[in-house]
């Protein structure tokens, strides 16, 4: 993936920044990266028996808070049950709220600190994680298509369709995942926030 400054220097991605930090060279990285950040707003709008669909808008901002880019899509989550959403392994959508989206390296650091274990003893499967939703762990953004492919994670897609059993599925999921991850790499250098919800009915309260 290429991303360059006006002077032709390539901007280090978030994984390179993590490695530079580990090598004691974080000052070099801080000097080169622009202070861009991303905010993702989602709205849960379709509920199936084993899945939930949200529309999302991801907006990138510069250091002055000006919008510099945006993208839209849908997220597929498991079915929503707020009575169980805070239980580990509940196979439900997470609670609505504001969370950080962080890369695998940062997720390992936080798990190690919280649990008093070494990072090299932590095995993670995905590139991007939603940090610390109440009562849950391992909530990631990854590929897939139906509610069977997620136990709490977010599956991006271009659009969605419900089937006869009310089990939603997302369309062009792999392409949208790659588009979203490129958006993270290009603009998420100073942090990524995701606002999960409000649910559609909250707009009418």
- Torsion, Cα of 109, 14, 186, 57 (10° steps): 0
Residue 1: per-residue pLDDT: 37
| H or E element at residue 158 | none
Q: Which residues pair with 100 in a beta bridge?
A: 193
Residue 167: per-residue pLDDT: 63
Residue 21: per-residue pLDDT: 39
In angstroms, rounded to a whole number, what is the distance separating the alpha carbons of residues 128 and 40? 14
Contact 49, 166 (CB under 8 A): yes
Contacts 24+ apart (CB under 8 A), 168-174: 168/46, 168/48, 168/51, 168/52, 168/53, 168/76, 169/51, 169/76, 169/145, 170/53, 170/74, 170/75, 170/76, 170/144, 170/145, 173/76, 173/143, 173/144, 173/145, 174/143
| Residue among 1, 17, 2 nearest 191 (CA) | 17
In angstroms, rounded to a whole number, what is the distance separating the alpha carbons of residues 77 and 18? 29
Beta strands 37-47 and 51-61, pairing class: antiparallel
Q: What is the pLDDT of residues 153-179, one digit of tens each?
A: 999 999 887 764 556 667 778 899 999
Residue 160: per-residue pLDDT: 84
Beta strands 155-157 and 192-196, pairing class: unpaired
pTM confidence score: 0.78
Residue 150: per-residue pLDDT: 87
Average pLDDT, the chain: 81
Cis upstream peptide for 199 (omega within 30°):
no
Residue 166: per-residue pLDDT: 57
Task: Give the pLDDT means over successive 10-residue stretches in the chain (205 positions).
Answer: 38 44 42 76 87 93 94 93 93 94 96 94 95 96 85 91 65 89 95 84 40
Residue 20: per-residue pLDDT: 44
Residue 165: per-residue pLDDT: 59
Residue 203: per-residue pLDDT: 38
Helical H segments across the chain, by residue range: 14-22, 26-32, 104-115, 173-187
Residue recorded with tokens 């100073």 = 190
Residue 133: per-residue pLDDT: 96
In angstroms, rounded to a whole number, what is the distance separating the alpha carbons of residues 158 and 145? 11
């Amino acid at each position: 993936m290429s991303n360059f400054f006006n002077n032709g220097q390539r901007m280090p991605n978030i994984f390179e920044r993590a490695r530079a930090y580990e090598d004691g060279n974080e000052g070099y990285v801080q000097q080169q990266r622009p202070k861009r950040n991303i905010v993702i707003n989602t709205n849960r709008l379709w509920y199936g028996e084993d899945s939930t669909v949200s529309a999302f808008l991801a907006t990138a901002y510069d250091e002055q808070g000006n919008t510099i880019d945006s993208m839209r899509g849908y997220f597929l989550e498991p079915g929503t049950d707020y009575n169980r959403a805070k239980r580990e392994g509940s196979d439900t959508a997470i609670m609505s709220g504001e969370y950080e989206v962080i890369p695998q390296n940062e997720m390992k650091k936080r798990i190690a600190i919280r649990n008093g274990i070494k990072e090299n003893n932590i095995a993670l499967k995905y590139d991007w994680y939603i940090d610390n939703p109440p009562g849950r762990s391992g909530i990631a953004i990854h590929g897939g298509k139906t509610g069977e492919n997620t136990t709490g994670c977010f599956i991006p897609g271009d659009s969605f369709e419900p089937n006869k059993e009310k089990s939603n599925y997302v369309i062009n999921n792999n392409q949208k995942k790659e588009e979203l991850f490129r958006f993270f790499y290009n603009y998420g250098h100073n942090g990524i926030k995701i606002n999960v919800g409000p649910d559609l009915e909250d707009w009418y309260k």
